[in-house]
Chains A and B, each alone.
Chain A
């Protein structure tokens, strides 16, 4: 457990900044303090919270906010598939609990360390994992509460809610690492810009669909071109 804590501690600083920004953003979007605290404790997912806030402020339909929350959390489904062999022998209640509390940083430090382990699902691995998710939870909730308190004090004219938009951008940019991904982002940006007056914020769904299609199209074209140039050699 101590090893897990040691491995995760550099990530905790980023998590703390992130937590403060999310805390401020919830209050600045118009949530009352009890609502913001409930959101932080129950949802416990920064990207989903920041995504949901503008939609909630615009009064978007609940099903659309739910769908948006699922989409930005999809990465966890993929993490879950990788983590599954390590936890498959635990009772379902423990799997639910550990899964619910798992965050990006815990996955990022856990997988490189144990991906090639011959025996998966040892007690040591479980405690290492708990050693990463427990401090992450404590740091996140503390910093979010700090952000909620700050959000109530800082005047509106400082536009701190803009920090939330910047935080989302900080999350996106490191993942734009290949041409298909870039094409996907540009296509969804254009779609989002053109469709934003659609009712019920349905432009968001359009942006996701166009982004996926553009990304897959670009990926296929890249593969085709690579195989052609290989054939020529």
Chain B
């Protein structure tokens, strides 16, 4: 699936730089930076929005020709969210989501 070695290693190194910038950036250059309040409150929404932007196409993929697709992963995710809202436990979310996927696939014979 992923065969372009150079692409992959470049990406990995750049992501390592990401880590360094975000985690150590303020500690190293903090003497010179002040984040304005407006930027600070805008930044609060960015991480969740980015995670949503990653998760949604995985759960509700869109086929180039056939359009929106729905499969059992959406059902499994909904069950997992329900379990999380009930138990407030992230580990149970992962376990119940996986189980729901396997059981529903077996039940629907997919």
Instruction: Evaluate contact between B22 and A76: CB separation under 8 angstroms.
Output: yes
Instruction: Evaluate contact between B19 and A100: CB separation under 8 angstroms.
Output: yes
Instruction: Evaluate contact between A71 and B28: CB separation under 8 angstroms.
Output: no
Instruction: Evaluate contact between A169 and B47: CB separation under 8 angstroms.
Output: no
Complex alpha-carbon distance, A31 and B11, angstroms: 12
Interface of B is mostly: helix
Q: Which of B2, B53, B80, B94 touches A204 (beta carbons < 8 Å)?
A: B53
How far does the Cβ of B69 sit from chain A's closest Cβ, in whole Å? 11
Instruction: Evaluate contact between B54 and A66: CB separation under 8 angstroms.
Output: no
Count how many chain B residues have C-beta atoms less than 8 Å from C-beta atoms of the other chain: 71
Instruction: Evaluate contact between B30 and A80: CB separation under 8 angstroms.
Output: yes
Looking at A110-118, A135-143, A173-181, A224-232, the stretch in contact with chain B turns out to be: A173-181
Contacts of A204 in B (CB 8 A): 50, 53-54
Complex alpha-carbon distance, A216 and B49, angstroms: 12
Instruction: Evaluate contact between A165 and B55: CB separation under 8 angstroms.
Output: yes
Contacts of B90 in A (CB 8 A): 14, 167, 170-171, 173-174
Q: Does B109 count as interface, using CB distance less than 8 angstroms? A: no
Q: Does A23 count as interface, using CB distance less than 8 angstroms? A: no
Contacts of A55 in B (CB 8 A): 54
| Contact string against A for B residues 28-54, beta-carbon threshold 8 Å, 1 for contact and 0 otherwise | 101101010000111111111111111
Complex alpha-carbon distance, A39 and B22, angstroms: 17
Question: 7 smallest A-B Cβ distances: which pairs?
Answer: A211-B49, A99-B24, A80-B26, A207-B53, A30-B1, A170-B90, A215-B45
**30 A-B residue pairings within 8 Å (CB atoms):** A30-B1, A38-B9, A43-B19, A56-B11, A62-B11, A66-B11, A71-B46, A72-B51, A73-B22, A76-B22, A77-B22, A77-B35, A80-B22, A83-B26, A98-B27, A163-B94, A166-B77, A166-B94, A168-B54, A169-B80, A169-B84, A169-B93, A170-B84, A188-B48, A193-B56, A204-B53, A207-B50, A207-B56, A211-B50, A212-B46
Binding site for A on B (CB under 8 A): 1-2, 4-5, 7-28, 30-31, 33, 35, 40-62, 64, 68, 73, 76-77, 80-81, 84-85, 88, 90-91, 93-94, 97-98, 101-102
Q: A14-B91, A84-B27, A193-B62 are in contact. List 13 more A-B contacts (CB 8 A).
A: A38-B9, A44-B19, A47-B51, A49-B15, A51-B51, A73-B23, A77-B22, A77-B26, A80-B30, A83-B26, A160-B98, A166-B98, A196-B61
Binding site for B on A (CB under 8 A): 14, 17, 21, 29-31, 35, 38-39, 42-45, 47-52, 54-57, 59, 62, 65-66, 68-81, 83-84, 87-88, 92, 95-102, 158-160, 162-163, 165-176, 180-181, 184-185, 188-189, 191-193, 196-197, 203-204, 206-208, 210-212, 214-216, 219
